[in-house]
């Protein structure tokens, strides 16, 4: 199991579009991904669950990947979150 | 009389058609096989996708692209692999396809209903819509034929989902009444787009009103009158006639200039607080933005907006307005507006304290971030910068010096920008009294009558005991206005007005006579103001 802490840098937060891209990327991996936010565990492969978590600009989250390809998965997740999903 | 919220203007008289959301009952559905149930679910999802695509096309025809996006969102949500696999898991666990879809959607509805973010809460009604559509498809139930209601119908429902509203034929619908929803709900947005009067959040509407009842609906006040008598009906019919007549008469001013009888052309602009309000200005025939308040960008958040965020907001407005003028006011805050991260001290007299331009000049980094964003946005359109609460000429000079520093920085960084003219908001007696001197440093004036009246009369309009003195028609206030306009005229700089008085039909003739160039009013007053100016000599 690997994990990393992040701060959300895109100003719109995790709204529909970034979540859509994120989930699509994460589906490529067999590992499980959990976003820890505000004391809750959110399935990182579900658009609806992530949107429902209301993760906004400036939010502190921890991403936990667990499985055979956990390292690569976390690396890609990190790249997406840190780049603000290509948004400002 | 039933009281709700007025969400779309106009008056409607007609017969109630109750849109009954009959509980979609699947208790009689028998479980086939896991694969059989999954195949039914897949077929329903496929049909839903097709139907929704058709509704999107219909919406684009009747109410515009923006509303169609809501339905496009439905398609995306139903593609959530977790959602579908969760439904299929429930099927494996012995649920019929209907129960599986119902349970999983309800789980998400609960989840979204509980969140604080209003935008996200709206998702709950999206998912309800998806759930009901899936259940209807699975059960083969025909939904109420909203598209086929007879002329003069008043639709009464608990709530209108986007797919329901997409089927409304606006020719036949006199009004809309719902039990839930506010002015920003889907129903309200669509009702306004289709120009159908609407009263929302009317408690128990679907139970109190019976199908076929005659109704009068007041979309301004949100009032619903069941079984009205003839005189009430006649009264509201007359009001509706007048409303439509006035609206049509004003619509004629949409692309007409505000030209007085003697041939002088004035500008009529709109005041906005958020970038998206620019749409209201354009829809109402506004010729520019006379006041873009930037405070809202700074409120309800934990840190100050970055240069990029501010740039995006200012540039969006500049781009939307194209060549037309956009006057953006720099941050106007003080001890009366609590913005925690700015740590503004509590003051004895916040209105006479460390606020607006005074605060900004003492917080250079904060001010520079805004000025840089403004200079960059200026490259995207016709932007002018306005300084609030100026009382001395030195304040203009200091702000302009800071602006020069910002220009040099941007130049060095190679970021595109354009110089923007710097004007002053005349809202203190001090500024009005030295407006001849101010005119030497300012590129334009804009008279803020709300504060100018308060400061000139030394009166707090919120204090009931003295608010009688708060009156723009007090001779001292009128003199301050006249003096400012004439000093601008003598110096040859443009002068506008962005307070409520700019839309006051009693004051407009004097403003025209004194030589005011630009009237900036709330977007819904633009057309009326144009008309009032056209009526002037």
CB < 8 Å to A58, chain B: 302-303
d(CA B128, CA B108): 9
- pLDDT of the residue at B180: 87
CB contact under 8 A, A88 and B312: yes
Dist. CA B513–CA B2, nearest whole Å: 47
Q: Which residue of A has its CA nearest to B118?
A: A54
Q: What is the DSSP string of B214-281?
A: EEEEETTTTEEEES--HHHHHHHHHHHHHHHHHHHHHHTTTTS-EE-TTS-EEEEEEEESSGGGHHHH
Residue B10 has pLDDT above 90, yes or no: yes
pLDDT for residue B346: 80
Q: Chain A closest CA to B56's CA: distance in Å?
A: 18
Segments making up each domain of chain A, as ranges: 2-86
Tell whether B250 is covered by a domain.
no
Clarify whether B186 is annotated catalytic. yes
pLDDT at A17: 75
Q: What is the pLDDT of residues B41-73, one digit of tens each?
A: 999 999 999 888 887 887 777 656 766 777 787
pLDDT tens digits for A24-72?
899 899 999 999 998 899 999 888 889 888 898 899 999 999 999 999 9
- More confidently predicted of B446 and B133: B446
Residues 6 or more apart in contact with residue B11 via CB below 8 angstroms? B175, B197, B216, B217, B218, B219, B220, B236, B237, B239, B240, B243
Question: What is the nearest CA distance from B273 to chain A, expressed in angstroms?
Answer: 19
* B406 belongs to the catalytic site: no
* Per-residue pLDDT band at B115 (split at 50, 70, 90): confident
The minimum CA-CA distance between B77 and chain A, rounded to whole Å, is 7
Q: What is the mean pLDDT of residues B349-360?
A: 92
The least confident of B139-143, B280-284, B411-415 is: B139-143
Look at A54 and B115 and tell me if their CB atoms are within 8 Å. Answer: yes
Judged against a pLDDT cut of 90, whether residue B16 lies above it is answered with yes
Residue B84's domain comprises 21-139
In a domain, B246, yes or no: no
Collapse the DSSP code of A33 into the 3-class scheme (helix H, G, I; strand E, B; otherwise coil) and give the result: strand
Question: For the ranges A47-56, B137-146, B500-509, which has the lowest average pLDDT?
Answer: B137-146
- Alpha-carbon distance of A4 to B310, in angstroms, equals 30
pLDDT digits 0-9 by tens, B318-346 = 999 999 999 999 999 886 766 778 878 78
pLDDT at B217: 97
Cross-strand bridge partners of residue B266: B258
CA B140 to chain centre: 40
Largest CA distance in chain A: 33
As given in the structure block, the two tokens for residue B457 are: 């009369």
pLDDT of residue B338: 66
Predicted confidence band at B184 (pLDDT cuts at 50, 70, 90)?
low
Say yes or no to pLDDT of B24 above 90.
Answer: no
Residues B134 and B149 in one domain: no
Q: Do A51 and B81 touch (CB under 8 A)?
A: no
* Portion 1-30 of A in contact with B at CB < 8 A: 11, 15-16, 20, 23, 27
Taking the C-alpha atoms of residue B46 and residue B446, their distance in angstroms, rounded to an integer, is 58
Same domain, residue pair B374 and B336: yes
Tell me the pLDDT band of B476, cut-offs 50, 70 and 90.
Answer: very high
**What tokens appear for B302 in the block?**
């934990």
Q: Which residues pair with B18 in a beta bridge?
A: B156
A60 touches chain B (CB under 8 A): no
Last residue of a domain, one of B112, B139, B166: B139
Distance CA B445, CA B496 (A): 6
B309 and B404 within one domain: yes
Query: Of B114, B139, B164, at which residue does a domain stop?
Result: B139
Give yes or no for residue A85 having a pLDDT over 90: no
- Above pLDDT 70, what percent of chain B? 96
Nearest residue in A to B70, CA atom = A16
Q: For B144-148, B341-345, B394-398, B431-435, which range has the lowest pLDDT when averaged over its residues?
A: B144-148
Closest-CA residue in chain A for B113? A52
B253 assigned to some structural domain: no
Average pLDDT value for residue range B252-262: 92
Q: Please indicate, yes or no, if residue B430 is contained in any of the structural domains.
A: yes
User: Which is nearest to A3 in space by CA: A23, A29, A33?
Assistant: A33
Q: What is the CATH number of the domain that holds B469?
A: 3.20.20.60
What is residue B320's predicted lDDT score, i.e. its pLDDT? 94
Tell me, yes or no, whether B239 lies in a domain. Answer: no
Assess whether B382 and B301 both reside in one domain. Answer: yes
Task: Determine the pLDDT at residue B161.
Answer: 76
Residue from A15, A47, A49, A59 carrying the catalytic annotation: A15
B348 confidence band (pLDDT: 50, 70, 90): confident
- If one looks up domain A2-86 in CATH, what number appears? 3.30.1340.10
**Chain B contact set for A15 (CB, 8 A):** 119
- Name the domain count of chain B: 3
Confirm whether B244 is domain-assigned: no
Distance from CA of B220 to the nearest CA of A (A): 33
Query: pLDDT band for position B477 (50/70/90)?
Result: very high
Burial state string for B10-38 with b = 16 or more CB within 10 A and e = fewer than 16: bbbbbbbbbbebeebebeeeeeeeeeebb
For chain A, where are the E strands, in sequence order?
2-7, 32-37, 40-43, 60-66
With respect to residue B270, please indicate whether it lies within any of the assigned structural domains.
Answer: yes
- pLDDT of A16 above 90: no
Would you call B302 and A58 a contact, using CB atoms and an 8 Å cutoff?
yes
Question: What's the confidence (pLDDT) of residue B63?
Answer: 59
CATH number at B54 reads 1.10.274.10
* Angle subtended at Cα B321 by Cα B318 and Cα B322, rounded to the nearest 5 degrees: 85
Asked if B340 is an interface residue toward chain A (Cβ–Cβ < 8 A), one would say no
Task: Please check whether residues B285 and B178 belong to one and the same domain.
Answer: no
Q: pLDDT value at position B22?
A: 65
Residue of B nearest to A15 (CA): B120
- Contact of B243 with chain A, judged by CB distance below 8 Å, is answered with no
Lowest-confidence pick of B54-58, B65-69, B219-223, B367-371: B65-69
Q: Which of B231, B247, B279 represents a domain boundary (last residue)?
A: B231
Would you say residue B246 has pLDDT above 70? yes
Cβ pair B15, B44 in contact under 8 A: no
Give yes or no: residues B73 and B169 share one domain: no
Least-confidence region, from B260-264, B297-301, B432-436, B495-499:
B297-301
Using a CB-CB cut-off of 8 Å, the residues of chain A touching B120 are 51-52, 54
How many percent of chain B have pLDDT more than 90?
Answer: 63
The CATH number given to whatever domain includes residue B170 is: 3.50.30.10
Could you tell me if residue B436 is inside a domain? yes
Q: Are B73 and B183 part of one and the same domain?
A: no
Among candidate residues B141, B128, B213, the one with its CA nearest the CA of residue B177: B213
**Smallest Cα–Cα separation from B423: which of B350, B325, B312, B336?**
B325
C-alpha to C-alpha distance for B141 and B139, rounded to whole angstroms? 5
Same domain flag for B286 and B367: yes
| Mean pLDDT rounded to a whole number for chain B | 90
Residues B225 and B281 in one domain: no
Within this chain, do residues B515 and B425 fall inside the same structural domain, yes or no?
yes
User: Is B80 within 8 Å of chain A by CB?
Assistant: yes
State the burial class of residue B93 (Cβ atoms within 10 Å of its Cβ: 0-12, 13-18, 19+): exposed
Cross-sheet strand order for the sheet of A2-7? A2-7, A60-66, A32-37, A40-43
Check A47 against B76: CB less than 8 A apart: yes
pLDDT at residue number B397: 98
Nearest to B108 among A43, A52, A88 (CB): A52
Residues B217 and B336 in one domain: no
Tokens, residue B136: 């209807």
Residue B103: is its pLDDT beyond 70? Answer: yes
Q: Checking phi first, is residue B263 left (phi over 0); if not, alpha (psi -120 to 50) or beta?
A: left
Higher-pLDDT residue of B460, B182: B460
A49/B contact by beta carbon, under 8 A? yes
Structure tokens of B142? 């025909």
Residue B424 above 80 pLDDT? yes
């Amino acid at each position: 199991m690997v994990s990393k802490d992040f701060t959300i840098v895109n100003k719109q937060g995790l709204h529909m579009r970034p979540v859509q891209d994120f989930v699509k990327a994460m589906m490529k991996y067999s590992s499980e991904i959990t976003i820890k936010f505000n004391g809750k565990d959110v399935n990182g492969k579900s658009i609806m669950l992530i949107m429902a978590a209301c993760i906004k600009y400036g939010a502190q989250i921890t991403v936990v990947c667990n499985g055979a390809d956990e390292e690569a998965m976390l690396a890609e997740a990190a790249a997406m979150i840190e780049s603000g999903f290509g948004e400002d | 009389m039933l009281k709700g919220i007025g969400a779309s203007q106009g008056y409607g008289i007609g017969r109630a058609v109750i849109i009954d959301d009959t509980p979609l009952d699947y208790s009689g559905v028998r479980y086939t096989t896991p694969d059989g149930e999954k195949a039914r679910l897949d077929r329903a999802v496929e049909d839903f996708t097709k139907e929704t695509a058709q509704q999107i096309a219909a919406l684009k025809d009747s109410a515009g692209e923006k509303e169609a996006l809501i339905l496009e969102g439905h398609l995306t949500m139903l593609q959530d692999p977790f959602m579908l696999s969760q439904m299929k898991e429930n099927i494996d666990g012995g649920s019929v396809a209907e129960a599986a879809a119902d349970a999983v959607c309800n789980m998400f509805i609960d989840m979204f209903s509980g969140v604080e973010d209003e935008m996200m809460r709206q998702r709950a009604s999206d998912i309800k819509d998806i759930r009901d559509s899936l259940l209807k498809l699975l059960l083969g139930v025909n939904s109420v034929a909203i598209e086929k209601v007879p002329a003069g119908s008043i639709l009464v429902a608990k709530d209108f989902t986007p797919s329901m509203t997409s089927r409304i034929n606006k020719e036949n619908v006199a009004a809309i009444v719902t039990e839930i929803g506010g002015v920003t709900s889907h129903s309200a947005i669509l009702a306004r787009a289709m120009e159908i009067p609407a009263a929302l959040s009317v408690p128990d509407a679907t139970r109190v009103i019976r199908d076929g009842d005659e109704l009068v609906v007041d979309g301004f006040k949100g009032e619903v009158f069941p079984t009205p008598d003839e005189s009430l009906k006649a009264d509201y019919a007359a009001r509706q006639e007048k409303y439509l007549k006035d609206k049509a008469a004003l619509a004629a001013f949409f692309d007409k200039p505000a030209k007085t009888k003697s041939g002088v052309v004035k500008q009529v602009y709109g005041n906005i607080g958020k970038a998206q309000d620019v749409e209201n200005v354009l829809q109402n025939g506004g010729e520019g933005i006379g006041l873009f308040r930037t405070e809202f960008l700074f409120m309800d958040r934990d840190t100050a907006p970055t240069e990029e965020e501010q740039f995006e907001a200012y540039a969006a407005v500049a781009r939307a307005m194209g060549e037309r003028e956009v006057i953006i006011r720099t941050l106007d805050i003080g001890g009366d507006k609590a913005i925690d991260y700015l740590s503004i001290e509590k003051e004895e007299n916040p209105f006479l304290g460390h606020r607006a331009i005074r605060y900004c000049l003492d917080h250079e980094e904060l001010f520079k971030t805004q000025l840089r964003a403004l200079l960059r946005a200026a490259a995207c359109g016709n932007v002018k910068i306005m300084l609030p609460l100026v009382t001395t000429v030195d304040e203009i000079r200091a702000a302009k010096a800071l602006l020069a520093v910002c220009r040099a920085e941007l130049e060095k960084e190679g970021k595109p920008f354009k110089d923007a003219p710097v004007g002053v908001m005349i809202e203190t007696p001090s500024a009005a009294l030295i407006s001849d001197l101010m005119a030497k440093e300012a590129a334009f004036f804009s008279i803020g009558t709300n504060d100018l009246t308060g400061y000139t009369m030394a009166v707090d309009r919120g204090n009931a005991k003295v608010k009688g003195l708060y009156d723009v028609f007090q001779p001292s206030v009128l003199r301050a206005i006249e003096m400012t306009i004439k000093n601008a005229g003598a110096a040859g700089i443009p002068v506008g007005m962005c307070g409520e008085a700019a839309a006051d039909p009693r004051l407009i003739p004097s403003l025209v006579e004194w030589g005011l160039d630009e009237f900036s009013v709330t977007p819904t007053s633009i057309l009326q103001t144009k008309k009032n100016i056209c009526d002037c000599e």
